Amino acid sequence: MSSETVATGSGPPPSPPPSGGKIPLPDSNVVIHIVDHASQLPPEFLNPSTEKQLVIGFDCEGIDLSRQGALCIMQLAFPNAVYLVDAVQGGEALVQACKPALESSHVIKVIHDCKRDSEALFFQFGIKLHNVFDTQIAYYLIEEQEGKKRAPDDYISFVSLLADPRYYGASYPEKEEVRFLLRQDPNFWTYRPMSDMMIRAASDDVRFLLQVYRKMMEKLNGKSLWHLALRGTLYCRCFCVTDNDYADWPSLPLLSDKLAAEGYAPEKEILSVLDVPPGKMGRIIGRRGVAIKSVKECCNAEILLGGDKGPPDKVFIIGPVNEVRKAEAILRGKLMDIY
C-alpha cells in the first residue's frame, strides 16, 4: 500500500528578503506521496507525451549511491506534489516503470549534479538518464555569462545554491543533519516504514528544484542553454563507461537552427575516459592533490576521478576537444614517467 502525507504550514514559501539574508526553508502545502506501485504515479509521467513537455524535479537517495551502492528512493517533484518512489518496497518493477520518463527527451529532469544518480540508474537498472537540467552546470554557465571565472574544483552544493538569493535565498540546516546521520549509519535510507525525517529530507531535496529551474531559465541565454543540454548529456554518461563508446545511448544534442543561423559555431565538446594502471592513480593526483590541480588550472576542461565509488582506475575529461586533448597529453605524460 502507498501512503500520503501533507507538509503543511502557513502558506506558500515567502520571497527571499531584499537584503539577501537567509531564512529557514519553509513548509508549504505540498502533498507527499510514498509510492510502492507504479499505478500510484501520475499518468503523464508514466506515459510521456510527445506533444507536451513535462518538467519535474528529480533526485535519488541510497546507500553510497553509485554503480555499487543500492538505490533506495527516487524523488519526483511536480508543482504541487512530491512522489517518493520506494525502490526498497516496490523493487525492480517499480523502478522499471519509471524508465520511459527517465530516458525520455520529452521529460526534463531538473537535478543537482546528475553524475552518480545516472551511474546508479544505469548499472543497477539499465536506465540511461537523459534530458536533464543540471542546476550545478546551469549555475556556472550563468556565472560565465556574467563574466565570472570558475576556480578548479569549485562545485556549488545544493545547500549553497538554495542559499543564493538569486535562486531561492534560504538556509537548509536539515541537510547537514541528514549527512551526519548517514555517516553514523550508511543504511539510513533502507529503513521502512520511512520516518518523518526521511520523508521530509527526501522531499526537500526536490521540492524547491522547480522554482530554481524557473529562476535559472530567466537568466540563461540561448548559447548557455545549448551548452547546458550538451554537458548534461555528457555528465549523464560520465561514470557509465561502456564497451561500445555509448553507441546505444541517446545522441548528443545538435546546435539549434537559430544559433546556427546567427553564426554561432562552438568547438565540439566531448567526454574522454583515460585508463590508469592499477595502483598508479596517486601519481595522477599528486601529494595533497597538487598534480591533478595543476592540470585543471591549465586546461579548460572538467577532470573527474572515479574515486572510491568507482571506477577507481579511470579519469573522465569533459570539455572542448582541444582542451580535452591537452589534458589527456599532460596526464599521459605523468603516466609515462611510471614505466
Q: What is the DSSP string of 272-312?
A: EEEE--TT-HHHHH-GGGHHHHHHHHHSSSEEEE--TTS-T
Residue 9 pLDDT > 50, yes or no?
Answer: no
User: Which has more confidence, 202 or 288?
Assistant: 202
3-234: CATH architecture: 2-Layer Sandwich (3.30)
Residue 22 pLDDT > 50, yes or no?
Answer: no
Ranking 66-70, 111-115, 127-131 by mean pLDDT, the lowest is 66-70
Cα separation of 339 and 328, whole Å? 17
Residue 13 pLDDT > 90, yes or no?
Answer: no
- The C-alpha R_g of the chain, in whole angstroms, comes to 20
Report residue 152's pLDDT band, with 50, 70 and 90 as the boundaries. confident
Residue 212 pLDDT > 90, yes or no?
Answer: yes
Q: CB-based contacts of 178: which residues, under 8 Å, 6+ apart?
A: 188, 197, 201
Position 4 scores a pLDDT of: 60
Residue with cell 534530458: 131
pLDDT single digits (tens) 87-109: 999 999 999 999 999 999 999 99
pTM score of the predicted model: 0.91
Asked whether the beta carbons of 73 and 94 are under 8 A apart, the reply is no
Report residue 26's pLDDT band, with 50, 70 and 90 as the boundaries. low
Q: CB-based contacts of 326: which residues, under 8 Å, 6+ apart?
A: 298, 299, 301
* Spans of all domains in the chain: 3-234, 267-339
User: Which has more confidence, 244 or 54?
Assistant: 54
The CATH code of the domain at 267-339 is 3.30.1370.10
Asked whether the beta carbons of 58 and 76 are under 8 A apart, the reply is yes
Position 91 scores a pLDDT of: 97
CA angle 179, 27, 133 (to 5 degrees): 65
Cα separation of 113 and 129, whole Å? 12
The 8-class DSSP code of residue 161 comes to H
